[in-house]
Amino acid sequence: MELRVLNYFLAIAREQSIVHAAEALHLSQPTLSTQIKNLEEELGKQLFIRGTKGSRKITLTEEGMILRKRAEEILELVKRTEQEITMNDDILIGDVYIGTGETEGIRPVAKAARIMRERYPGIHFHIQSGNSAFVIEQLNRGLIDFGIVFGNVDLTKYNAIETSYFDTWGVLMRKDAPLAEKKNISPGDLRDQPLILSQQEARGSALTGWLGQEPDKLNITATYNLLFNASLLVEEGLGYAIGLDKIINTSGNSVLCFRPLHPRLESRISIIWKKYQVFSKPTEKFLDILHDSLELPD
């Protein structure tokens, strides 16, 4: 499978037309069709569903959608690798990729990024947001350099910097909800209440352990990936969202409020990267600055 042909494939997927893709690639239509036919034969799978005479629009098969995702990842890695290898030894330019959940704990990373940009204006940062499962998946695939995660870290697979930041768990609710009268929320308060949990927590974790019930015994009305989306469900009265503090602004005219859990439940924030990872010059320098900045006073 050649990189050139992957680019051809992505062009057709993007244009949804061999004719338009051929024009964009400055190829003849028969040449492009032959290349894609050879790719399908090589993989032994049909990648496109050709349109009928009434519609020339081309759509991806299930296998085509898988290849599109992987092809985009492969070509992005190739681009990054070329940039890192061809970089001038005397000039530090390039990109640093970071995956993180929604957390106040990104502040030390932001602080280090500011210091690095002041010293090396040619460095660019790319932040991808998602839950811990998303961050770990992106890290394992080599699509990000660093991940920001909560709780325990598997030190057999990853190196880690434990920060001094802890995120506090609590309940996001409407200010007119019955539990809003409480200063903090106990497990008993949430029993039989309609709950909105993160997808990861809904499968069982420290949070469900704190609740003292298995996930299938809880009244889970919805799950979320990012807490902002869950906050909209809370506003509409769908239930109580359990999440981390300082993510949703509940001050001013907000109809929402946040109440911490009791007994208190916290998660330490760590910055991780793969063991034996070969860093590019920008990521290596960023790690040095990150170490130094964590030792500086705020």
- For the chain, the distance separating the N- and C-terminal CA atoms, rounded to the nearest angstrom, is 50
Instruction: Decide: 238 and 140 in contact? Cβ < 8 Å.
Output: no
Question: How far lies 238's CA from each of 58, 145, 173, 244, in Å?
Answer: 40, 37, 10, 18
For every residue of 102-124, DSSP letters joined together read S-GGGHHHHHHHHHHHHH-TTEE
**Cα–Cα nearest to 240, from 286, 283, 293, 187:** 187
CB neighbours of 124 closer than 8 A, spacing ≥ 6?
Answer: 94, 95, 96
3-state SS class at 170 = strand
Q: How far is CA 222 from CA 199, 229, 233, 237, 239, in A?
A: 9, 11, 9, 12, 8
Quick one: pLDDT at residue 86? 62
Count, in order, helices (H) and strands (E) of the chain.
Answer: 11, 11
Per-residue pLDDT, 16: 85
Burial class of residue 190 (count of CB atoms within 10 Å of its CB; 0-12, 13-18, 19+) = buried
Looking at residue 197, its pLDDT comes to: 92
Residue 204: per-residue pLDDT: 65
Residue 141: name the closest of 153, 128, 123 by CA. 128
Q: Where are the beta strands (DSSP E) in 195-282?
A: 195-198, 220-224, 240-244, 256-260, 266-274
Q: What's the rounded Cα separation, in Å, for the pair 147 and 134?
A: 10
Check if the beta carbon of residue 48 is closer than 8 Å to that of residue 61.
Answer: yes
Q: Per the structure block, which two tokens stand in for 165? A: 């930041």
pLDDT at position 53 is 58
pLDDT at position 150? 84
Residues in a beta bridge with 269? 150
pLDDT at 4: 85
Q: Chunked in runs of 10, what are the mean pLDDT values of the chain (298 residues)?
A: 85 86 85 87 87 71 88 82 64 87 86 93 91 88 91 89 89 96 95 90 77 88 92 96 92 95 91 89 91 70
Q: 185: which DSSP letter? A: B
Q: According to the model, what pLDDT value does residue 217 have?
A: 87
Query: pTM of the entire structure?
Result: 0.66
245 touches 168 (CB < 8 A): yes
